[in-house]
Amino acid sequence: MRSTATDSAAFFRALHERTRRTEQEVRVERAEEVKADYVIEAVGSLCWVVIHPDEPDRAYTVDMLKRVCNCPDYQCTAAGLEILCKHIISVIPLWEQLTGVKYAPNETPKPDYASWFVAIQDPDPDDVYKD
């Protein structure tokens, strides 16, 4: 007989995978709207800007090297589920066309959140009193 802990772990793994798939499907549908309505501009071959059609000040940057976006959805939800946001999905075909590189979803790197923070170093106490 299997333990309850094993059953619970299997249940939550299955739930996470189902949620992940469902969330990605929603973003794929939204990406079609982005491709049709938004302005998508390349800034080099690795960086792209996706601009909202009604609010030009609302623009997001997609980094295809790291496969990250600075939109709230990616930062707060998609990255945690290890899925792509609608902006990244919208950029993929344009990026493939520009670079000739085929997108490989299994190679999506996880964001290095530690690199997003600046290390603050405590001053050397001996240096504080030097003139």
One digit per residue, the tens of pLDDT, for the chain of length 131 reads: 455 656 766 666 666 666 666 777 888 888 888 888 899 999 987 899 999 989 888 899 999 888 899 999 999 888 887 888 999 999 999 988 888 888 877 555 555 555 555 555 555 656 555 55
What is the per-residue pLDDT for 24?
A: 79
Main-chain dihedrals φ then ψ at residue 117, nearest 5 degrees: -110, 145
- Give the per-residue pLDDT at 31: 87
Q: Which residues contact 73 (CB under 8 A, 6 or more apart)?
A: 27, 85, 86
Please give the Cα distance from 82 to 73 (Å, whole number).
Answer: 12
Give me the pLDDT at residue 3, please: 55
**Pairwise CA distance, residues 111 & 78, whole Å:** 11
